[in-house]
Amino acid sequence: MGVPVGAPQGFPYETGSETFTNEYATAVAPGARDRLKNPLPLFLLSVPGADPEYDRHVNRVVEALRGAIEDRGKLVPYAVLRAGGDPGASWARAAADELLRGIPGNMTPDRLPSFSLLRDVVAEAVRLGDGLRADAAARAIRNSAYALRAEAAGLPALLWRLGGGDRPVSSSGAIGWLIDTVWAPSFQNLPRWFWGRWKTHRLIRPLSLSPRNRRRRSLGTELDAERGEDLFGAVYHWVWTSGLFGATPLGEEAAQACENLLVRALLEDLEVPSVGGLLPKRRRRTVRPVLLLALPHDTAHRVAAERFLRAFHTAHSVSVADAVRAPGPLVVAVGQPSTELLGQLDPDDRNFATAAGCLARGHDRPVRVKFSAEALLRPGHPVSKVKTLASFRTNWRLATALVTALASVVAAGIVVWFPSAQLSPCVGGDDTVDKAARTQPVEVHPAEWYDAAVKEIDTQNARAVDFAKAGRTVRTVVVFVSNRPTSSRDTVFDGVIPELRGIAMWQKKLNDDANSDSSEVPLRVDVRETGVAFARAEQAAQDLVKEIRYSKGIPAYERVIGVLGYAQSRDETKAALTVLDKAKVLVVDTTATADEMLGGANYWPMTPLNSREAAVEANFVATSDIVARPDGGCVPAKHAVVIETYGDLYSRSLADQFVKDFTGSKQLLNFTQDSTSAAPPAGTPAYNTATDLAARVCAEVKAQPDSVIYWSARARDFTAFINAFNTAGTCLQHDLTVLGGNELTNVSQTGAFSNKDWLRLYYSAHRLPDDDKRASAVTRTFVNDYENFVKATTTGDDPWAQDGHSAVAYDAFHTFSLVANMTYNQQPAAPPSQMEINFRNSGATFNGATGYVQYAPGVNQPPADKTLVLLRQIGQKPVAVAACGAYDQDQSSVNQGEPCSATSR
């Protein structure tokens, strides 16, 4: 059924809908095959159920989504499911039939072996009824299934008669003896027995407990196959206990049980194979299968559709105790689900902008997005066609045979010419942090350096006021920082000083440019402290909102038009964002990276989210040679000890994402020195002293030598752990490999670990070192300007010449000033709320100190493919071991290989 002529067409336009459909195309056919491993939630696109044009609206959305994966034939394996003739028909069966119709050439999946077997076995068990003994029924079902498989395989007639057909009538004498002792065991009994055992171990009772096999074990649990039965006996017993014998039509409970089983088998076939390598079947999985459901309006057909959705949710849910959530198809249901189904699915209500993020990164719950009635009546926008990575001319089975033969030849050559394997060098070099390190940590002057940066801001504020007195439009931006540091401890664990330096540098450049460029809007900077760890952030935000609301009596240049911040992801800063968002105050963030900070329409992050950072880092440790071996060289990490502080939003967010993305074994440990911090969930080992944590980490590393320590807690706690680990001295005979987040950059570059000859330290950052050949000219110029700024305003050695906080703040202020220019250059009387509207409509693009910055219009996400760098700390000098994203305009994660291919966002 097409859309009637004259009716609105295209995907209905809502705020963020174009971003959603772009992510839809990318999720189905990502530029990097590795993104197929991300499990996606069930999406519910809700159309008002009371609308008399309900069916037309549903069909319009479904057809718009199908248009992206159809071009005179299927571009990806997909199924569009609509109400058929029989209201009780299984939608899982319809999905399988539709998926196999018109499959793109030589692409996987090209068949559904698990589903077709379970479907035929259940049908045969129902046909036999309950008149047979269980063992006889199991054999009969197995023989019937074996015959179907043999026939489908196209066996020659002779082999079919020997192994697949009925047993010949027994004869006496020599012929009878041969049939009974040779023919039957060799060509009938033994092949069928082996085939039955193989299918049993493959589907319900695997021999190993890999993540995929744990999902198969859960299928056996659903069949109640714990009594030693094979697959066929288990299905027969399940059919009997589920009430499927002789029930026409089936009761709802039996129909749901049958749908659950078929959907579980279907997902087994649609799960993404292991990605990468040379195996042809893996390489043929370049796209994600898609299931589009048009939810019927009439109750009878809707029950069957919702039965499928309920089964999919159950099979795909992370709450299933024995299952490990697996990637698979993208399922999008369009229409109005029943209240009962919504209660069971408990979807997360999102707008299209934030739902786009769920398409990119995955989500733990089903996601529901509602269309407004007005949007369904307006013309929509097209959905971009998916672009598949490659097409293939040969069948994967033929290619597998050729690759196997080639691999055998290569393996034989390796045995002959390379009798001993060579150890791989370590990524970033073999040195630990003490190599070329300072003899003593750098001496810091916290109060002096902080005051110097604020003094320079005050100087630039005076210049901005002079512009205002001369008749120029000038406005004010508030910068929320934590607290003025008073001790070296505060300084090395907080990036406030380099951040304020970056802000002062951009403000000076803005004033310099405004001398000759009348289109520039000079900006005053109001630095406001919010307490240690942003303790008073929410109250400070409330105070600012009141000031903005009652600002008519103050000079125009003192009127606040937005906020720069925050440097940390905490519950306190998240609460402050909620306050500012309600008041429609634009916030351009600096280095707060937790995904949980998103949500408000007025909040625009500058740095990559934790989900992207963790995906790259998990891929990095699993594929890069970073863990030192006692006999020399390095290997990838096979085990991760993840250290989090559960009560800290940033730490919890980063740890959760890494645990989800890392493919090896892992152990999560909670560490906090704050007695008021929230306790972790039951089952997570918790430590309150660095000494106890060091002992546990030592035990983990001894048990799993190929371990990496993934540190998501704060830098102060990291320093305490390193000192305790060094003092204990029980694990220092081998190097300890640590990977941390951007939180560690401040302390790492001060030389605090200069005497730790056992520590191999990697951490994330947001710009490339200036001496890296990949760094842009803008980055190098910024570093030179930063060093000159520090020399002109402070005394003593600066430890943060390669720290990214100053560059991030510089680019964040650059972004903010661009929005101020487009808002107040032509409309001096515009309210502050107009800032976010202009930003959302126009976006922002420039080449910055941190790399290429491109905010796409319409969605408040970080800049597209924002630069993310992994550094190796060697003494005073960090070395970039991975650089992902658009650190220059012509660069992209899509073509940067491992570990950047973990995500292209």
Q: Is the pLDDT of residue 174 over 80?
A: no
- Length of the chain in residues, anyone? 905
Place of tokens 């196959």: 225
> Do residues 766 and 613 touch, judged by C-beta distance below 8 A?
no
Which of these ranges, 235-249, 384-398, 625-639, 749-763, has the smallest mean pLDDT? 384-398
pLDDT band (50, 70, 90) for residue 400: low
Choose the most confident range, by mean pLDDT, from 669-673, 744-748, 750-754: 669-673
pLDDT of residue 746: 66
pLDDT of residue 324: 46
With CA atoms as reference, report the closest residue to 439 among 118, 754, 211. 754
pLDDT of residue 828: 92
Six-digit token pair at 45?
A: 């696109």
pLDDT band (50, 70, 90) for residue 810: very high
Q: Calculate mean pLDDT across residues 79-83.
A: 92
Q: Is the pLDDT of residue 418 over 50?
A: no
Q: Is the pLDDT of residue 420 over 50?
A: no
Q: Is the pLDDT of residue 547 over 70?
A: yes
Place of tokens 């539709």: 98
pLDDT band (50, 70, 90) for residue 159: very low
pLDDT of residue 268: 80
Q: Is the pLDDT of residue 163 over 70?
A: no
Which of these ranges, 97-106, 199-208, 304-313, 417-426, has the smallest mean pLDDT? 417-426
Q: Is the pLDDT of residue 214 over 60?
A: no
pLDDT of residue 8: 76
Which of these ranges, 144-158, 641-655, 840-854, has the smallest mean pLDDT? 144-158
Task: Name which residue leads in pLDDT, 632 or 566.
Answer: 566
pLDDT of residue 279: 55
pLDDT band (50, 70, 90) for residue 196: confident
With CA atoms as reference, report the closest residue to 191 among 227, 130, 142. 142
pLDDT per residue over 337-379, tens digit each? 999 999 999 999 999 988 988 888 788 889 999 999 999 998 8
> Do residues 447 and 485 touch, judged by C-beta distance below 8 A?
yes
142 burial via Cβ count (<10 Å: 0-12, 13-18, 19+) = buried
With CA atoms as reference, report the closest residue to 902 among 890, 887, 885. 885
pLDDT of residue 173: 55
pLDDT band (50, 70, 90) for residue 136: confident
Global confidence as pTM: 0.60
pLDDT of residue 742: 83
Q: Is the pLDDT of residue 327 over 60?
A: yes
Q: Is the pLDDT of residue 834 over 80?
A: yes
pLDDT of residue 816: 97
Euclidean distance between CA atoms 291 and 77, whole angstroms: 9
pLDDT band (50, 70, 90) for residue 319: very low
- Alpha-carbon dihedral angle through residues 233, 236, 242, 246, given to the nearest 10 degrees: -170
pLDDT of residue 415: 45
pLDDT of residue 392: 55
Whole-number average pLDDT of the chain: 82
Euclidean distance between CA atoms 293 and 302, whole angstroms: 11
Q: What H or E segment, with its residue span, contains residue 265? A: helix 252-270
pLDDT band (50, 70, 90) for residue 320: very low
pLDDT of residue 78: 92
Task: Name which residue leads in pLDDT, 44 or 161.
Answer: 44
Euclidean distance between CA atoms 305 and 405, whole angstroms: 47
> Do residues 697 and 709 touch, judged by C-beta distance below 8 A?
yes
pLDDT per residue over 692-724, tens digit each? 999 999 999 998 999 999 999 988 899 899 999
Q: Is the pLDDT of residue 866 over 90?
A: yes
Place of tokens 């008749």: 471
Q: Is the pLDDT of residue 318 over 50?
A: no
pLDDT of residue 844: 93
Q: Which residue stretches of 179-230 are H helix?
A: 190-203, 211-222
pLDDT of residue 218: 57
Euclidean distance between CA atoms 713 and 790, whole angstroms: 30
> Do residues 604 and 815 touch, judged by C-beta distance below 8 A?
yes
pLDDT of residue 766: 93
Which of these ranges, 321-330, 493-502, 611-620, 787-796, has the smallest mean pLDDT? 321-330
What percent of the chain clears pLDDT 90, i.e. is strictly above it?
Answer: 43
Task: Name which residue leads in pLDDT, 540 or 231.
Answer: 540
